[in-house]
A and B are shown apart, each in its own frame.
Chain A
């Protein structure tokens, strides 16, 4: 708040943006859905704002043999229409309102690191990587590493990279009016039929999305995903047990979010279990097509 008035920079390339972000107290600006209201509400004003609106490199979406790449400035609306990533598209469709989806970006979601961010829950379950660039050069981090380390000064998220959809991917969330408020809790389940791996994460429990490894291992061992999700026992029982494991993991999670008025910790832990059970049941019911768009927002 002291000294020189703030300055807006509008670079055209990642290189320029990164150079500008190297100066002290410089903040990137993407869609503005989080940052602009925060500035208005009196958040500490950065000395420099570096707008990414003109950095076209950040708007790429790429499909490779073993990875999908989504540029940091890709909006939810653009993601929502992107057929190579049906799970990601389904998550994007259930973010906020059309106005928010038209402006809000992938990079902004990571930059804000909201523990209830829908995209973060999904990216965590999907084993996504965050591609970063700073004046020191590029680096790659897992979503968990990126969120745990906090955004380092001068870091620009350039893209996220995730494996292509090779099985059912389901995302569920509960909360108040979706268009106006982030979800209370969310759960993403991502199945890879090729490797038999199941990724599961819950949002709204801890300060960052929580990977539920015990539940993942149970779902991977109990179900033969390559054979159309063949399982021992009933699908219902498998899904219920999966939900219980997720609830238990949520209760034991370190760095729990403080209880809110409308969401005591008990409720949240119970609710993610219910979401997880439903999500796995949905995965089990999915046909064996390699990439079924079954993600749904609740």
Chain B
């Protein structure tokens, strides 16, 4: 299992300076445009329930109680440094990824750490991005499903999910792919019990999990050398057709609310 560096070793990275992400003082009445936009385009998520009131980000207006944006900061998402401007301090990594950076493959459903649809890797550890303060992730490596290595397990898992009918509405799929990739990277030969336990934080409302487990078991069998062939050969036509649909899900998040 992955662990944090023990202190003895970690002490090498001497971190003495206090880094303050200071509040953007220059912004008083005229809020930057970025802060005024994000409230739109959220209703499209099938998993999003309307009762999650609270606008996610500061909405420009006259409300003096509206959160003020903090100074711009940088996030390292999928290997690319991204500048975040106009965000309020309390914004979660999920909010910032989706609404400030347009990365909609990270799904937003519960915002309470309960469903796993917003799963990402933070410095290689699987976490729910809705429980991470975005500004506090400024020096971390963030991987979404789109940033998982193209020559690694994720594409193989994606194909297996399609072949096994583990994708129905697809809302949970990006989170499952991130979680399953994390698990198989750490424990390629995990037992089915282990697998179910490791994926317990990811909720799927459609499949009943059986097909998801079957897809992952098939990938494990492939890795072990037996099992079914990866995408290609006979399965290719099949996977190709469904593959188009998948571009909106585990893809790069170009479609709105995809």
Interface residues, chain A, with chain B CB atoms under 8 Å away:
1-2, 4-13, 16, 20, 29, 31-33, 35-37, 39-42, 45, 49, 51, 53-54, 56-57, 59-61, 71, 75, 77-78, 81, 96-100, 102-103, 177-181
Sample (11) of A-B pairs whose CB atoms are under 8 Å apart:
A7-B89, A9-B18, A31-B131, A36-B90, A40-B92, A45-B67, A59-B6, A99-B119, A99-B128, A102-B126, A179-B116
- Which of A5, A11, A37, A57 meets B112, CB within 8 Å? A37
| B201 in contact with A97 (CB, 8 Å) | yes
A6 and B90 contacting across the interface, CB-CB below 8 Å = yes
A32 to chain B: closest residue by CB: B131
Least CB distance from A70 to B in Å reads 12
**A178 / chain B contacts, CB cutoff of 8 Å:** 200
Given the contacts A8-B21, A9-B20, A39-B90, A99 and B127 also touching, CB distance less than 8 Å: yes
Considering the chains assembled together, what is the distance between the CA atoms of A7 and B69 in angstroms? 10
Interface size on B, residues (CB 8 A): 58
Q: A10-B18, A97-B116 are in contact. List 20 more A-B contacts (CB 8 A).
A: A5-B88, A6-B67, A7-B23, A7-B70, A7-B89, A8-B136, A12-B18, A13-B16, A40-B54, A41-B112, A45-B89, A49-B89, A49-B136, A60-B6, A97-B201, A99-B179, A100-B131, A103-B125, A103-B131, A180-B203
6 tightest A-B CB contacts, nearest first: A97-B201, A12-B15, A5-B68, A5-B23, A180-B114, A179-B200
Residue contact B114 to A179, C-beta cutoff 8 Å: yes
B4 touches A75 (CB 8 A): yes
Contacts of B16 in A (CB 8 A): 12-13
- Contacting A at CB under 8 A, from B126-161, are 126-128, 130-133, 135-136
Residues of A within 8 A of B23 (CB): 4-7
**Cross-chain contact of B131 among A7, A33, A41 (Cβ < 8 A):** A33
Residues of B within 8 A of A (CB): 1, 3-7, 10-11, 13-24, 53-54, 56, 65, 67-70, 88-90, 92, 95, 111-116, 119, 122, 125-128, 130-133, 135-136, 179, 197-198, 200-203
Asked if residues B18 and A20 are in contact (CB atoms below 8 Å), the reply is: yes
In the complex, A54 Cα to B28 Cα: how many Å?
A: 31
In the bound assembly, the distance between CA atoms of A102 and B19 in angstroms comes to 24
Instruction: Determine which residue in B11, B21, B111, B115 has the highest number of CB atoms from chain A within 10 A of its CB, and name it.
Output: B21
List residues of chain B with CB within 8 A of the CB of A60: 6-7
Closest Cβ of chain A: how far from B170's Cβ, in Å?
20
Bound: A62/B70 CA distance, A: 38
Which residue of B is nearest A75, CB measured?
B4
Instruction: Let me know if B70 and A102 touch, CB within 8 A.
Output: no
> In the assembled complex, which residues on chain A have CB atoms less than 8 Å from the CB atom of B128?
33, 99-100, 103
B21 contacts which of A10, A100, A181 (Cβ < 8 Å)? A10
Contact partner of B11 among A39, A56, A97, A181, CB < 8 A? A56
Contact of B111 among A33, A37, A51, A98 (CB under 8 A): A37
B200/A29 in contact, CB under 8 A: no
B42 to chain A, nearest CB (A): 13
Asked whether A98 lies within 8 Å of B15 as measured between CB atoms, the reply is no
CB distance from B185 to the nearest CB of A (A): 13
A106 to B17, CA, bound (A): 25
User: Which listed residue (A5, A12, A56) contacts B70, Cβ 8 A?
Assistant: A5
Residues in A neighbouring B95, C-beta threshold 8 A: 40
* In contact, B89 and A59 (Cβ under 8 angstroms): no
- Contact: A99 with B22, CB < 8 Å? no
Cβ B92 vs Cβ A99 within 8 A: no
Indicate whether A49 sits within 8 Å of B133 (C-beta atoms), given known contacts A5-B70, A8-B21: yes
Inside 8 A of A35's CB, which chain B residues have their CB?
Answer: 133
Q: A1-B65, A36-B130, A178-B200 are in contact. Are A100 and B113 (CB under 8 A)?
A: yes
Residues of B within 8 A of A75 (CB): 4
Q: Once the chains bind, are B15 and A54 in contact (CB under 8 Å)?
A: yes
CB distance from B132 to the nearest CB of A (A): 5
Output the least CB separation between A94 and chain B (Å): 10
A177 to B16, CA, bound (A): 42
Complex contact B127–A8 (CB within 8 A): no
Closest to B14 in A: A12
Most B CB within 10 A of own CB, among A9, A81, A102: A102
> A181 CA to B22 CA in the complex, in Å?
35
User: Bound state CA distance, A103 and B23, in angstroms?
Assistant: 26
Residue pair B18, A40 in contact (C-beta under 8 Å): no
Beta-carbon contact of A59 and B10 below 8 Å:
yes
